[in-house]
Structure 1
């Protein structure tokens, strides 16, 4: 099988010769170098080394050169490189051998990075999240966005050479087409990556550097494609969440309370009585219990709670929260599950936060972001949602876990029914510019299946993309997409030197 190497280069006269020297050790079929926007001797060096030079006077933007090279390449295997990072020939051979062995996509294995870093950067979180959404969590942060990587000719046909311009989209298309993916080599491209102005200069209307903003936008664009192909939940189940559960009681607010509590009953538990006593000690003057409740349980609860709301079928605890929010009248509303073991010191900080001009008080789970092996998928995805809405300081804050508390004005703005899908409720609250405070609490959390969890977050991202655009209003770094359209229409276009 013939191997084509594709290098994108801009002012890389210092390194491009060494990059090509390592490639030549592998006996390549062809070496294509797409030089764009260069003002140094990169083109002269490429020509002198006998490579195919594709020259563009103006900068094309990141990865445009790779897409052009993919169109031009004739090999059975395409390996993509950058002109500023020298990859040892042994690693290049591992990539090509993996494709020869039957894989369609060969990635750089960056798993080792997770063992070294103390905190994941936004781009790594984006890569991991996309792989999780695509049901390929075992790939971790391995992605087509990191060089070197390789595609089979079959992969290029399935993905479309023009989609190489957006690596997360290309990877998404490949996975949805069930292409075989491997990660056979692990050259260090982190410490050798040249620091450029785009890595330091903050993008317009973004808290991130230009390169980070572009990569986040690329991943949101890939999720947008997933939604187009699989639906608003990315193909994940919703367990009948399109409507509120049937309620046996008429919605009627009994009183104007200061502190309300909504207690969801989804499990038979011995902790409920203790929890209700604790809520009373916390001066909660309206307690609403929601769940599938029989007459005997209702009778036993009447003396301890303000209202018992029985729903006619089993449902998720977040659906019970939505129902409870419709019934309660308090200014500060605490949401808890009936099986939770909570003391007075656990409950009071949530009320105190909301009573001190905080709109949303959440359970602080940020420490769990440090989990590496295995990766904490829940924390990673929650972190990505905050990254996507340009609130990185919120880290993994969310309304998925309870307890949490909301001021009534938040529920009035986002709608109680939004609480059925916690990430969507959280996102709507963020878009309303609410204030959020995290409460420290050591508590083991139970959650729905990851399938439901992922679907909820994809649905929240879908809502966000509808209010912005398919990239969440993140820059694409000035990629010259028009030139790819010209090539698709008219064939190859190359400027003469």
Structure 2
């Protein structure tokens, strides 16, 4: 067997989980032995076909467990059983040439702390799957969109001694958490090799969607891994990961009665008296007059004017439209929450007038509610589902949260991109304060069994004046809102958000690092939305 040259002054440990892989284990180990490992560890778990004996005959150190340990746990077990400068991880069902593994080792030798195998082409699929969305969004929220969806969920990969000392070897039981902690710690990450392991994976029942499920069992586990990673990071980075509320002044909601005390709705008859249009008006845009003239005889109107020029209030007064006035800018989400409390009709449609609309574009957000087909109608953004590399971070986050709430069919559509319609009686129990974070409002609505459907597609970015886009669509604020919503979810449903753990036998790994939890918290039955919004 011809060896491959590497820096043998660095101690190399290779960890290989095995479960009934007698067909491939000999060829797998033959390639690994070319790398001259100082310790070759095979973690045999639940194997009955003699795989472990084959590994022993080839000089590997075999750790045997009678029952399967579940996904990823064997990697943590193997790493904890050895000490090395470089740790290489691969699987026993894929024969990967040693030449393809060497770049991972060489990058660690050169100072990298985590070296991964690229699957970047998955970020260019026109219809991304749930695991890809979770991985991409996690990296994105950690400020590493450049990494795409690269993650040590994919084998092979390698770590430095420093990396595993810092994050804890135990954490390898959840590869998405391990990746996230390496990034959070600011350690050096590389992607030096590209070996298509996905094409060589065997079809498994766990990767098929079963009747009654919306995601395959394995996809649910992987989404739970990402959610658990976020839950750990919340303890270090806070519920919004440092993404501030931007221009949204939530404190104004506490003083809302000062602004609404003089509010008196119009008693004039309108064409559709069961619909109230709650408007956020912050600037006197050119189309505003025409819009108000179109709407004032058609719907009940609650304009919430904030930080607008005097000409806006003068316009409303000339048109004889009552309004709520807030003397400073509060953001449209806060304006919606304040205005919603004054709604007396069964249907409310919320709209920021920075985005030009025609009267016929309001109807699709009210009609399904009137027909009893929905409780919430959102702006349909599903046509933007595509290659993750080119998708808006906000839309990726919407997709991720919709999966968390078990509504993957909603894809990228959510009420954080108005307009949207709401069945008022169904939403009152949630509380109008939730509208200050529309992502939170949607996830709670879904949690409580309300029907959320996409309505009309309105292209906010391209129909809104470029000057106003940052006001209407501040990316950092929207991502912070999404993370705050996820914080609510894991607080209530536990670190894994209610997703399965893939039958991992975590108890075989001692809890020696604070980031590793043998039993992740299961959550608490009641979470105060006002407390969540206080962040």
Give the TM-score normalised by structure 1: 0.92
Match of 1:174 in 2: 182
Query: 1:275 and 2:285 equivalent?
Result: no
- Distance in 2 (alpha carbons) for counterparts of 1:314 and 1:487: 49
- Distance in 2 (alpha carbons) for counterparts of 1:95 and 1:13: 26
Match of 1:478 in 2: 503
- Distance in 2 (alpha carbons) for counterparts of 1:69 and 1:259: 62
Task: Give the C-alpha shift of residue 328 in structure 1.
Answer: 2.8
The farther-off stretch of 335-344 and 412-421 is 335-344
Task: Give the C-alpha shift of residue 380 in structure 1.
Answer: 1.1
Q: Deviations over 1:224-264 (max 9, x none)?
A: 11111122212322347553354553345626852211121
Could you say if the C-alpha distance between residues 305 and 350 of structure 1 is closer, same or farther in structure 2, counting changes exceeding 3 Å? farther
- Equivalence map 1:13-92=2 (5 Å): 13-92=22-101
Of 225, 233, 240, the residue aligned with 2:232 is 225
- Equivalence map 1:443-454=2 (5 Å): 443-445=459-461, 446=469, 447-454=472-479
- Equivalence map 1:193-342=2 (5 Å): 193-200=201-208, 202=210, 207-239=214-246, 241-245=249-253, 246-247=255-256, 249-251=259-261, 252=263, 254=265, 257-280=273-296, 283-304=298-319, 306-342=321-357
Could you say if the C-alpha distance between residues 342 and 250 of structure 1 is closer, same or farther in structure 2, counting changes exceeding 3 Å? closer
Match of 1:114 in 2: 123
| Preserved contact between residue 365 and residue 397 of structure 1 (Cα < 8 Å) | yes
- Distance in 2 (alpha carbons) for counterparts of 1:289 and 1:161: 54
Task: Give the C-alpha shift of residue 371 in structure 1.
Answer: 4.1
Query: 1:375 and 2:383 equivalent?
Result: no
Query: 1:144 and 2:144 equivalent?
Result: no
Query: 1:345 and 2:364 equivalent?
Result: no
Of 415, 436, 445, the residue aligned with 1:420 is 436
Query: 1:467 and 2:492 equivalent?
Result: yes
Could you say if the C-alpha distance between residues 155 and 305 of structure 1 is closer, same or farther in structure 2, counting changes exceeding 3 Å? farther
Task: Give the C-alpha shift of residue 40 in structure 1.
Answer: 0.6
- Distance in 2 (alpha carbons) for counterparts of 1:140 and 1:405: 34
Could you say if the C-alpha distance between residues 49 and 459 of structure 1 is closer, same or farther in structure 2, counting changes exceeding 3 Å? same
Aligned residue for 1:244, secondary structure, equals helix
Task: Give the C-alpha shift of residue 97 in structure 1.
Answer: 1.2
- Distance in 1 (alpha carbons) for counterparts of 2:482 and 2:264: 31
Match of 2:7 in 1: none
Q: Deviations over 1:313-368 (max 9, x none)?
A: 22221111112212332222111111222123322211212211121111100110
Match of 1:493 in 2: none
The farther-off stretch of 441-450 and 62-71 is 441-450
| Preserved contact between residue 87 and residue 161 of structure 2 (Cα < 8 Å) | yes
Q: Deviations over 1:7-57 (max 9, x none)?
A: 111111111222212222323222211011001121122112111111111
Query: 1:397 and 2:396 equivalent?
Result: no
State the 4+ residue runs in structure 1 displaced beyond 6 angstroms.
Answer: none
- Distance in 2 (alpha carbons) for counterparts of 1:272 and 1:410: 31
Of 459, 470, 483, the residue aligned with 1:458 is 483
Aligned residue for 2:361, secondary structure, equals helix
- Distance in 1 (alpha carbons) for counterparts of 2:402 and 2:264: 34
Task: Give the C-alpha shift of residue 120 in structure 1.
Answer: 0.8
| Preserved contact between residue 266 and residue 321 of structure 2 (Cα < 8 Å) | no
- Distance in 2 (alpha carbons) for counterparts of 1:305 and 1:441: 31
- Distance in 1 (alpha carbons) for counterparts of 2:84 and 2:147: 26
CA RMSD of aligned residues (A): 2.1
- Distance in 2 (alpha carbons) for counterparts of 1:451 and 1:241: 15
Aligned residue for 1:335, secondary structure, equals strand
Could you say if the C-alpha distance between residues 58 and 469 of structure 1 is closer, same or farther in structure 2, counting changes exceeding 3 Å? same
Aligned residue for 1:310, secondary structure, equals strand
Give the TM-score normalised by structure 2: 0.86
Task: Give the C-alpha shift of residue 199 in structure 1.
Answer: 2.3
Task: Give the C-alpha shift of residue 309 in structure 1.
Answer: 1.6
Could you say if the C-alpha distance between residues 253 and 128 of structure 1 is closer, same or farther in structure 2, counting changes exceeding 3 Å? farther
Could you say if the C-alpha distance between residues 295 and 351 of structure 1 is closer, same or farther in structure 2, counting changes exceeding 3 Å? same
Task: Give the C-alpha shift of residue 295 in structure 1.
Answer: 4.0
Match of 1:495 in 2: none
| Preserved contact between residue 262 and residue 290 of structure 1 (Cα < 8 Å) | no
The farther-off stretch of 436-445 and 329-338 is 436-445
| Preserved contact between residue 134 and residue 400 of structure 2 (Cα < 8 Å) | yes
Aligned residue for 2:36, secondary structure, equals coil
Could you say if the C-alpha distance between residues 487 and 309 of structure 1 is closer, same or farther in structure 2, counting changes exceeding 3 Å? closer
Q: How many residues matched?
A: 485
Aligned residue for 2:501, secondary structure, equals coil
Aligned residue for 1:477, secondary structure, equals coil
Task: Give the C-alpha shift of residue 166 in structure 1.
Answer: 0.9
- Distance in 1 (alpha carbons) for counterparts of 2:127 and 2:368: 28
Query: 1:441 and 2:441 equivalent?
Result: no
